[in-house]
């Protein structure tokens, strides 16, 4: 079976001046139409639901996911570590004091030399990024181009929250995390999560996060199952995710 | 809807052809069984799954009841955050708006995140007519696009292709679209994924305009939400200077908090994971990007006007209903003649097309569209598995029966449906009706009349088995015991 053809055009085809003018008048016409369509859609909705009963929402699901049996924060950390590892990410749980040592060890093992560090990363972590032989911490200041990011070996960040039940890390582009491209283009992401940032479940994370910031929820490395449902880690995002949980 | 093949026969003929294709059947059976096993495990892991499902259903119904109010709230919030909102009554208008926005940037190509709404309106073809090339970036969509093919599953659109077919498509076609496939490409999925990564890498880094859909929009904050696995979504949402999102008006949720329900329901129902690898949320013009939101009606308000049919608008496109459907498993996604295959397609496609605002309807001979739409509500044995698995509790069998009563059909079939209606009109649980059907089966004809006959012709057993699918599922755990 063949899909209708014609989705391919010669590369670099130019819009001529006269057709550009036609487009411009078309665009302003469209914004008027859009206004008309807005009113029409709203009127259709009102007619469609007129007289329909109100629907109350009952939230009898777990608003606060209880910590796993025993309920100590340590167990949330354990669950988080286990669930992140389920996604085939590399996970370390270490004392906070060992952060720098773990960072430089991980980068040396990986052979990651030039590694981008977002603004606001704690001094001690940033210094550790360039500490192994040949290592260099590359600041995103002035902002690196996508091509420059593509030439780097990795990125080291903190995060905004961790979710134990789903093994998810959330970045909100805040200090120590950088803009979204930083954790996307380089092929290796080393992420540090403080135990105090880990919440038990999704509802707690939603409550803690600011929707006005651009958020990236990360659950394991980039993956696809598009070919015969065989899971392959790593397509376009970082193919290796390494997570350091600081107790 | 351009989502129909030219000269496409109605569902039964499509299905009959698909049933003969053993590669397709093998792939589909393997895929659907794998995913439904994973889904059952991760849904069962949450002690409050039923409560989440109730809340999901109620939040969607509440939103639909107040859709006008929430859309206005969304428009205000997106505008406040630096985005621009456009309203498109139908496919043609949406395509015109998007093409105009792309042309205004001076670019002649765009990268795309997998989006059912843009497939529904035939955006790629409409852009091509205006000299704009749309590059699909999801791996499965890339396979489909390079192979001049059509998606067959909501979640894994190229599931009808096996690895060696994919290798051939990559070897033959990648070069025409950009960076060719590497020398000596094998059919190892890892190698194929790597080929896609290389093929698309430069394109991502150089693209100035991206087009996406969205899984959810939050009225209160103006936030859009996209769930994905590969990172192609993040590439498109993050790197280009201009982002255009085309989103159906039913994708709305009133509050940020409502996401706590849907970010639990969707990944577990869809990929069978606790969470999908990447979820991006953004509000308005994020990180200095130019952002346009195109709100799409295209038949949705007509669906909303149907008291029974409107529940289809709760759909969050998880594809769980496809994976449990015995008809889908045998017939494959192409038979449904639409970007919406499976049980949800059988109730959504005819309803959306009915309103007459679907842009490319003219491309298909009207008689062919009529036949297809009339036959889709029969593309089911009403076993009820789709309803049970649906995270927003859409009663698909109920809508199917409702649509059958409305569809033009021959007299004999109408009589048959009157009998079915007698069963379904009564407040009798579907399961009980099915068990009754099982007991009465020797009184029923061995073959179904009308459109479904071509499908039943290819099977050895009549439509109503001695044991309903639901009972069989309960007894055998989906064939695993
Ligand atoms: S109808 Fe329900 S199960 Fe099917 S895709 Fe939509 S939400 Fe999922």
Model confidence pLDDT, tens digit, residues B32-61: 888 989 999 999 999 999 999 999 999 999
Residue B20 binned pLDDT confidence (cut-offs 50, 70, 90): low
> Is the CB of residue B349 less than 8 Å from the CB of residue B14?
no
Residue A175 has pLDDT above 60, yes or no: yes
B43, B316, B379, best to mutate for ligand 1 pocket (most atoms within 8 Å of CB): B316
**Rounded distance between C-alpha atoms, residue A217 and residue A236, angstroms:** 16
Testing ligand 1's pocket by substitution, the residue of B39, B311, B391 carrying the most ligand atoms inside 8 A of its CB is: B391
Mean pLDDT of chain B: 81
Most confident of B155-159, B174-178, B363-367, B438-442: B174-178
Say how many Å lie between the CA of residue B250 and the centre of ligand 1: 14
Confidence at B464, pLDDT banded by 50, 70, 90:
very low
pLDDT at A8 over 80: no
Range with lowest mean pLDDT among B200-209, B329-338, B342-351: B329-338
Ligand 1, residues B52, B155, B321: which to mutate, most atoms within 8 A of Cβ? B321
pLDDT of residue B182: 92
pLDDT tens for B413-427 read: 544 444 333 333 333
Give yes or no for residue A53 having a pLDDT over 80. yes
- Residue environment code for B23-59, b if the CB has 16+ CB neighbours within 10 A, otherwise e: ebbebbeebbbebbebbbebbeebebbebbbbbbbbb
Cβ within 8 Å, pair A6-B125: yes
List of chain B residues whose C-beta atoms are within 8 Å of the C-beta of residue A40: 89
Average pLDDT, chain A: 86
Query: Which pLDDT does position B220 carry in this prediction?
Result: 98
User: Of A149, A148, A155, nearest to A126 (Cα)?
Assistant: A155
Span of A192-206, B186-200, B250-264, B453-467 with lowest mean pLDDT? B453-467
Confidence of residue B152 (pLDDT cuts 50, 70, 90): confident
Considering only the beta carbons, identify the residue of A8, A57, A146 that sits closest to B133.
A8
What domains, with CATH codes, occur in chain B? 11-39+318-406 (1.10.1060), 43-301 (3.40.50.10420), 422-475 (no CATH)
CB of B317 closer than 6 angstroms to any ligand 1 atom? yes
Residue A145's pLDDT band, with cuts at 50, 70 and 90, is: very high
CA of B322 to the centre of ligand 1 (A): 8
- Residue B446: the pLDDT is 36
* Residue B15, pLDDT score: 63
Instruction: Note whether ipTM > 0.90 here.
Output: no
What separation in Å is there between the alpha carbon of B390 and the centre of ligand 1?
5
The strand pair at A154-157 and A198-199 is best described as unpaired
Contact A226 B158 (CB under 8 A): yes
Instruction: Enumerate the residues of chain A whose CB falls inside 8 A of the CB of residue B140.
Output: 226
Cβ–ligand 1 distance for B394 under 6 Å, the answer yes
Q: What is the C-alpha separation between A169 and A176, in angstroms, rounded?
A: 14
Assess contact for B204 and B89: CB atoms under 8 A. Answer: no
The mean per-residue pLDDT over the stretch A43-65 comes to 92
Across B119-123, B164-168, B350-354, least confident range: B350-354
Return d(Cα B402, Cα B398) in angstroms, integer. 6
Best of A21, A29, A48, A177 to mutate (most B CBs within 10 Å, chain B): A48
**In the prediction, which pLDDT does B358 show?**
38
Sequence-distant (6+) residues with CB within 8 A of A13 are B108, B131
Q: Is the pLDDT of residue A165 over 50?
A: yes
For residue range A78-96, list pLDDT tens digits in order.
Answer: 999 999 999 999 999 999 9
> Do residue A224 and residue B52 have CB atoms under 8 angstroms apart?
no
Per-residue pLDDT, A67: 55
Which has more pLDDT, B449 or B114? B114
**Is the shortest distance between the CB of B464 and ligand 1 below 6 Å?**
no
Q: Which run of H or of E encompasses B109?
A: strand B109-112
pLDDT tens digits for range B235-250? 999 999 999 999 999 9
Strands (E) located in B252-300: 252-253, 278-283, 290-296
Please tell me whether residue B244 adopts helix, strand or coil conformation: strand
In the stretch 22-61 of chain A, residues with CB closer than 8 A to chain B read: 23, 26-27, 30-31, 33-35, 37-38, 40-42, 44-49, 52-61
CA separation for the pair A157, A230 (Å, rounded): 30
Does residue B468 surpass a pLDDT of 80?
no
What pLDDT was estimated at residue A124?
Answer: 95
Residue carrying the six token digits 């079915």? B420
Cβ atoms of residues A191 and A241 within 8 Å: yes
Each residue's pLDDT tens digit, B226-237: 999 999 999 999
Give yes or no for A95 touching B (CB within 8 A).
no
Mean pLDDT of the B138-149 span: 88
Alpha helices in B376-452 (DSSP H): 385-389, 396-406, 411-425, 430-440
* Tokens 């129902």, located at residue: B269
Question: Is residue B128 predicted with pLDDT exceeding 50?
Answer: yes
Q: What's the pLDDT score for residue B10?
A: 61
Instruction: Tell me what pLDDT residue B18 has.
Output: 59
pTM: 0.85
Going by DSSP bridges, is the β-strand pair A161-163/A188-194 parallel, antiparallel, or unpaired? unpaired
How many CB pairs (< 8 A) connect A and B?
302
With beta carbons under 8 A apart, name residues in chain B contacting A232.
189-190, 193
Work out the percent of chain A whose per-residue pLDDT is above 90.
74
Q: Which residue has the higher pLDDT, B160 or B242?
A: B242
pLDDT at B475: 54
Closest ligand 1 atom to Cα of B386: 3
Ligand 1 site, residue B316, Cβ cutoff 6 A: yes
- pLDDT of the residue at B114: 87
Angle at the Cα of B337 from the Cα atoms of B331 and B342, rounded to 5 degrees:
50
For residue B318 and ligand 1, the question of a CB distance below 6 A is answered with: yes
Residue of B nearest to A31 (CA): B86
Whether B428 has a pLDDT exceeding 50, the answer reads no
- Which residues have CB under 8 Å from B55's CB, separation 6+? A57, A58, A59, A60, A61, B261
Q: What is the mean pLDDT of residues B355-371?
A: 51
Q: Which of A27-31, A52-56, A192-196 has the lowest mean pLDDT?
A: A27-31
Query: Rounded distance, CA B265 to CA B390, Å?
Result: 10
**Is the pLDDT confidence value at A171 over 50?**
yes
Average pLDDT over residues B376-403: 91
The highest-confidence range among A33-37, B72-76, B156-160, B371-375, by mean pLDDT, is: B72-76
């Amino acid at each position: 079976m063949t899909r209708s053809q014609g989705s391919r055009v010669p590369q670099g085809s130019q819009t001529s001046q006269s057709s550009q003018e036609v487009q411009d008048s078309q665009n302003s016409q469209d914004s008027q139409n859009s206004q008309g369509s807005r009113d029409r859609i709203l009127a259709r909705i009102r007619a469609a639901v007129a007289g329909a009963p109100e629907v109350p929402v009952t939230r009898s699901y777990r608003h606060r996911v209880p910590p796993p049996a025993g309920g100590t924060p340590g167990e949330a950390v354990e669950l988080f570590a286990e669930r992140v590892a389920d996604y085939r990410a590399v996970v370390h749980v270490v004392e906070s004091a060992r952060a720098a040592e773990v960072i430089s060890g991980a980068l040396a093992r990986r052979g990651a030399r030039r590694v981008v560090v977002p603004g606001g990363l704690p001094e001690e972590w940033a210094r550790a990024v360039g500490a192994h032989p040949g290592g260099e911490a590359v600041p995103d200041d002035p902002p690196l181009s996508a091509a420059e990011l593509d030439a780097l070996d990795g990125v080291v960040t903190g995060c905004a929250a961790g979710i134990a039940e789903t093994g998810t890390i959330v970045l909100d582009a805040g200090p120590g995390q950088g803009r979204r491209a930083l954790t996307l283009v380089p092929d290796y992401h080393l992420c540090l999560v403080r135990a105090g940032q880990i919440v038990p479940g999704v509802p707690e994370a939603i409550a803690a996060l600011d929707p006005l910031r651009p958020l990236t929820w990360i659950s394991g490395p980039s993956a696809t199952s598009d070919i015969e449902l065989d899971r392959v880690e790593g397509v376009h995002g970082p193919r290796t995710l390494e997570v350091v949980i600081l107790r | 809807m351009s989502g129909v093949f030219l000269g496409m026969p109605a569902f039964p003929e499509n299905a009959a052809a698909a049933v003969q294709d053993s590669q397709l059947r093998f792939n589909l059976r393997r895929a659907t069984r794998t995913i439904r096993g994973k889904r059952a495990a991760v849904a069962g892991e949450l002690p409050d799954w039923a409560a989440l499902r109730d809340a999901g259903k109620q939040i969607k119904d509440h939103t639909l009841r107040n859709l006008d109010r929430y859309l206005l709230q969304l428009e205000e919030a997106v505008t406040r955050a630096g985005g621009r909102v456009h309203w498109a009554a139908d496919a043609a208008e949406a395509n015109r708006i998007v093409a105009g926005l792309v042309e205004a940037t001076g670019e002649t190509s765009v990268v795309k995140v997998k989006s059912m709404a843009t497939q529904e309106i035939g955006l790629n073809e409409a852009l091509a007519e205006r000299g704009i090339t749309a590059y699909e970036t999801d791996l499965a969509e890339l396979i489909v696009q390079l192979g001049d093919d059509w998606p067959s599953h909501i979640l894994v659109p190229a599931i009808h292709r096996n690895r060696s077919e994919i290798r051939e498509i990559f070897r033959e076609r990648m070069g025409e679209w950009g960076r060719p496939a590497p020398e000596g490409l094998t059919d190892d999925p890892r190698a194929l994924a790597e080929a896609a990564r290389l093929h698309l890498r430069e394109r991502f880094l150089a693209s100035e305009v991206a087009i996406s859909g969205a899984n959810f929009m939050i009225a209160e904050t103006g936030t859009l939400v996209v769930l994905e696995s590969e990172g192609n979504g993040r590439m498109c949402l993050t790197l280009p200077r201009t982002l255009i999102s085309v989103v159906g008006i039913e994708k709305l949720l009133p509050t940020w908090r409502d996401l706590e329900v849907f970010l639990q329901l969707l990944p577990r129902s869809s990929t069978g994971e606790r969470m999908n690898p990447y979820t991006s949320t953004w509000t308005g013009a994020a990180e200095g990007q130019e952002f346009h939101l195109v709100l799409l009606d295209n038949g949705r308000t007509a669906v909303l006007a149907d008291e029974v049919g409107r529940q289809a608008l709760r759909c969050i496109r998880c594809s769980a209903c496809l994976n449990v459907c015995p008809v889908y498993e045998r017939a494959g996604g192409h038979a449904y003649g639409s970007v919406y295959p499976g049980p949800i397609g059988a109730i959504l496609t005819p309803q959306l097309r009915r309103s007459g605002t679907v842009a490319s309807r003219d491309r298909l001979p009207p008689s062919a569209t009529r036949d297809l739409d009339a036959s889709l509500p029969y593309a089911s044995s009403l076993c009820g598995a789709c309803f049970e698995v649906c995270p927003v509790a859409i009663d698909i069998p109920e809508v199917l029966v409702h649509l059958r009563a409305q569809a033009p059909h021959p007299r004999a079939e109408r009589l048959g449906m009157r009998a079915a209606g007698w069963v379904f009109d009564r407040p009798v649980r579907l399961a009980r009706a099915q068990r009754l059907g099982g007991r009465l089966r020797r009184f029923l004809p061995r073959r179904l009349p009308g459109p479904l006959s071509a499908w039943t012709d290819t099977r050895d057993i009549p439509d109503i088995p001695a044991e309903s699918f639901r009972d069989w599922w309960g007894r055998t755990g989906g064939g695993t015991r």
